[in-house]
Amino acid sequence: MARSKSSNNWLQEHVNDQYVHMAQKDGYRARAAYKLLEINDKDKLIRPGTVLADLGSTPGSWSQVAARIVGEKGKVFALDILDMDPVPAWISSRATSARKRCCANSSNYWTDARSTL
């Protein structure tokens, strides 16, 4: 099946996007990583040692950025209904239709930490 004109236009813009190229070069999963970096540069929401939850975290570029910022003393808990490849320094969980089980399992990660963000 042939692509629509709008799909072709989007693909062409995506291929030529400077942030897509930067994300690939810097090892981020998506160009959205730069948006979080921009927000954090301005507002300083995430700092070393921060404990945070990234809800709806797939594909994981925000979790990648957050994990790098919080460092070894912080934690990033990533939760999504889709599977993600793991990133060092972050804890991920996949929410399923069995939400109670997911939430019960997730609470085990929070026993020693209070979320700051």
- Give residue limits of the domains in the chain: 5-110
| More reliable by pLDDT, 86 or 75 | 75
* 67 pLDDT more than 60: yes
- Is CATH 3.40.50.150 the right assignment for the domain spanning 5-110? yes
d(CA 7, CA 114): 44
Model confidence at 114, pLDDT cuts 50, 70, 90, reads low
79 CB-contact burial (10 Å; exposed 0-12 / middle 13-18 / buried 19+): buried
Provide the percentage of residues in the chain whose pLDDT is more than 70.
Answer: 71
Model confidence at 79, pLDDT cuts 50, 70, 90, reads confident
